[in-house]
Amino acid sequence: MARVLAISSQVVYGPVGLNCIVPALQSGGHEVLALPTILLSNHPGHGKPEGRATAASELAALISALEKLGAFENLDAVITGYFASAEQIQIFAALIARLKCKIVLVDPVLGDHGKLYVGQVVAEAIRDQLVPLATILTPNAFELSWLTGLPTENREQAIRAAQSLKVVDLIATSVVKSASELSTLRISREQVETITAPIEAKVPNGTGDFLSGLYLSGLLSESPQSAFANAMRLLQKAIARSKGTSVLDIAPDVSRKP
């Protein structure tokens, strides 16, 4: 069992953020320390939420108390998701650098469908302060393009953009393969693994958070290749169950030396 620090949003209704990341990690038997960057009544897709971001002073106090308890001792990994302010990112970037974990998964929650849904200052802080600390990145195609300034309109472009970041391990989601298919790519220094699935309507929110948590959960106990394949299977199973449809039979297509 590993010990993981998970940093992201917390909602009461409409699971995203920590509501997806924590159970994904716990399903692998791992201990999770969950630190919320914001607490909301619901995901904004269900209407205007009530709640507020965790103030920088509150986060600093929480971190200090946890350090005094020794909660960060023997920490195996850190996973980050949604941030509400650049001040939060500065605090956690300093903490992550201090912890020196071997695995730091950064899900750069910036936007989708061609636009940012966080402020420009927050997006820039993620790019400039968190991405350089990451050993694993899990952007969608838009986020990968925004981070690199390169196009990601197809598999080949996404691979080139990922390689420009020089991250050891990167999973790019929502990469267009055709008018009816999207691919998820795992891009490492040795190979590219591609899993393609049909584009579906009304996919539930939080799939990116869930995939990041599942991949990290597997990675802590098995090879990256197995962790990726198993995470994608579980994600597709969850999507199918939420929609009441049949589960897709998927397998990665692997190409060497991208």
Instruction: Work out the average pLDDT over 77-87.
Output: 98
pTM for the complete prediction?
A: 0.94
The full set of domains in the chain, from first to last, is 3-256 (3.40.1190.20)
The SS3 of residue 140 is: strand
**196: nearest Cα among 178, 211, 210, 213:** 178
At residue 218, what are phi and psi to the nearest 5 degrees?
-70, -40
Torsion of CA 132, 257, 184, 108, to 10 degrees: 0
> Is residue 205 very low, low, confident or very high in pLDDT (cuts 50, 70, 90)?
confident
Checking DSSP bridges between strand 3-13 and strand 77-80, what pairing results, if any? parallel
Residue 230, amino acid: N
Round the average pLDDT of the chain to a whole number and report it: 93
Residue 251, pLDDT score: 62
Residue 46, pLDDT score: 84
**183: nearest Cα among 211, 141, 143:** 141
